[in-house]
Amino acid sequence: MFTGIIETLGQVAAREQENANTHFKIASPLSHELRVDQSVSHDGVCLTVVKIDEGAYWVTAIHETLQKSNLGRLKAGDKVNIERCMLNNGRFDGHIVQGHVDQTGTVKAIAEDAGSWLFDFEYDASQGNVTVEKGSIAVNGVSLTCYNSEAGRFRVAIIPYTHEHTNFHQLKVGDTVNLEFDIIGKYVKRLLKN
């Protein structure tokens, strides 16, 4: 489990295909602290460390993960948001993030707003996911608060620190992002549906 508080940026150093799986080599300042079998969030996708290299580590994404996230589009040089799994004795600074991306969304607009940034996102509402006003969402693994929430659309405000220390500073209109909708909202929706 994660909290959506990004620790650092990693950079894709290599990408290798093996049948339907893709192996990613990630260069990261946290590499020396990781171990094989550890869960690490990459742009909100929980992947298992399978090998440690000097200054880098390897993870593997299966076909399903590549289809449901933006990881299939990653290439060498791309930056990803990195978060290690939550410690059970640590502070819970963000919200409950499982590392299970529900679907992707698209950046529809970016505007600077008195030193912060406003990002508008659009997603396919027919998949049944919902946001609520002032509710939580993970975008590329970052714990954020939705507003201007409508079916298939929402906005978030990004403070300068988050803009600088995540890959939000690289996003452009039209880019694809990973979305994990709030787990509590998903369970409430399912209960109401039944």
Is the pLDDT at 187 greater than 90, yes or no? no
- For 108-129, what is the mean pLDDT? 95
Is the pLDDT at 109 greater than 90, yes or no? yes
- For 25-36, what is the mean pLDDT? 96
Give the mean pLDDT of the chain: 94
Is the pLDDT at 90 greater than 80, yes or no? no
Residue-wise pLDDT tens digits, 128-175: 899 999 999 999 999 999 999 999 999 999 999 999 999 999 999 999
The confidence band for 37, taking pLDDT boundaries of 50, 70 and 90, is very high
Is the pLDDT at 194 greater than 80, yes or no? no
Residues 6+ apart with CB under 8 A from 168: 117, 119, 140, 142, 158, 162
pTM value? 0.93
Residues 6+ apart with CB under 8 A from 36: 49, 50, 51, 52
- For 60-89, what is the mean pLDDT? 94
pLDDT of residue 35: 95
The string of DSSP letters for 159-193 reads -HHHHHHSGGGG--TT-EEEEEE-HHHHHHHHHHH
Domains parsed from the chain with CATH numbers: 8-84 (2.40.30.20), 103-193 (2.40.30.20)
Is the pLDDT at 71 greater than 90, yes or no? yes
